[in-house]
Structure 1
Amino acid sequence: MWWRGDRHSRPQSFLPARIITGEDAWCEDPRDRHYNQGIRLDEGQGGDRLKRADHLYDFIIEIDHNTRPRVAGRGSAVFLHLARDNFGPTAGCVSMTKSAMLQLLRRLGPRTRIIIG
């Protein structure tokens, strides 16, 4: 689980937690050896940053999608994250309200299986 420590206190959860910094990003390039993994980018370096101006990524739960093995082009950055105000579409993720996210986080642990059907 990742969260914006500059906006929120650490949520209650049994999941390991990591504060999102300005250098945190996600590799979505299927040609890169870090495809579908969290990465660190230097200032000025382009990439899919996790620290966003909006609130969608204030809390992120990584879904174990396309990780063992990682297959290029089979999907990257599939997260549970906060929803837009109008519940607009995501780019393949699952989104929810902040209250639903905090309630879910209180129940999740490292061995929890999330099945999306």
Structure 2
Amino acid sequence: MTRDDLVVTPRGLRFAGRTYPCTIGKSGVTRNKREGDGATPRGTHHIIGMLYRPDRIARPAGWALPIGPRDLWSDDVTDPNYNMMVRAPYAPSHEKLRRADPLYDLVILTDWNWPYAVKGRGSAIFIHQHRRPGYPTEGCIALSRAHLHDIARRITYGTRLIVSR
């Protein structure tokens, strides 16, 4: 581990000498992630992208891409585009990236089960804003808006996310 890694610990997300309060999946951490299990996958993952809502926030990093009105994420295990960003209109099951609430105003993408997704192994482990302090996710890592933005400004493409707890 290095100082530039994001490390999930029992006390929060450690990064660059600080520990930020965070929440993980409602089912805890697992070695055997499955679609819909509500767990955060154990392991070393890499940051492979950053998305943001340009109508709500300034570009957080030079490599961040805007979320458009038609941007979705496929979570249908029968879909050839499973665990990939897709565009509306889109019939298979998906999650809207451009949400009414602020959870996905800034999304940091990990390489969990990507780019060659294993069907049913779980989709989209994001780092995003929490609903409220302590409220668990469906498997993602969630932080306060201020902490998420602070981290987003300082990570790089390829930064590691280490989940071991």
Q: Could you tell me the TM-score, scaled by structure 1's length?
A: 0.88
Q: Could you tell me the TM-score, scaled by structure 2's length?
A: 0.64
1:78, distance to aligned residue in structure 2 (A): 1.0
The answer to which structure, 1 or 2, has the higher relative contact order (CA under 8 A, 6+ apart) is: 2
Query: Once the two structures are aligned, what percentage of the paired residues are identical?
Result: 37
Q: Which has the higher strand share?
A: 2
The match for 1:61 is 108
1:86, distance to aligned residue in structure 2 (A): 4.1
Q: Does 1:112 align with 2:133?
A: no
The match for 2:138 is 91
Contact 1:23 1:43 in 2 (8 A): no
Structure 1 segments (4+ residues) deviating >3 Å? 43-47
Aligned pairs (5 A) from 1:62-81: 62-81=109-128
Q: RMSD of the TM alignment (CA)? A: 2.0
Q: Which runs of 5+ in 2 are unaligned?
A: 1-49
The match for 1:26 is 73
Deviations 1:1-35 (A, max 9, x none): 00111111111x35x21111110000001111111
Q: Secondary structure at the match of 2:163?
A: coil
